[in-house]
Amino acid sequence: MATDTASARLSVRVALGRAWGAVRWYVNGLTGESRYAAYLAHERAAHPDREPMTEREYWRCVYRDQDANPGSRCC
């Protein structure tokens, strides 16, 4: 009986951990935080000899490009 309770608690912890991971993934995608991580991965793979931009420089570049090419944004 005690092992059933411990097993159930472990299952709940695993499920909560997965749910929390999914929420973090969604929020990172929604806020754009994952874009900088993708940029870093690309820079390491395609240009290992070059120093990547800092996160601040990266976002400045992104916003400058958005202002120069607004496309079909609402704002």
Non-local (6+) Cβ contacts of 36 within 8 A are 55, 58, 59
pLDDT band of residue 1 (cuts 50, 70, 90) is low
Same-domain status, 5 and 26: yes
For residue 45, what are its two tokens? 């793979």
Same-domain status, 42 and 73: yes
Degrees, nearest 5: CA angle 16-25-21: 20
Same-domain status, 14 and 40: no
Same-domain status, 21 and 37: no
Q: What is the pTM of this model?
A: 0.60
For residue 42, the enclosing domain spans: 32-75
Residue pLDDT, tens place only, 16-61: 899 998 988 888 788 878 899 999 999 999 999 999 999 999 999 9
Same-domain status, 51 and 39: yes
For 53-59, which contacts have Cβ atoms below 8 Å and span 24 or more sequence positions? none
Q: 15 or 73: whose pLDDT is higher?
A: 15
Same-domain status, 20 and 47: no
Same-domain status, 21 and 50: no
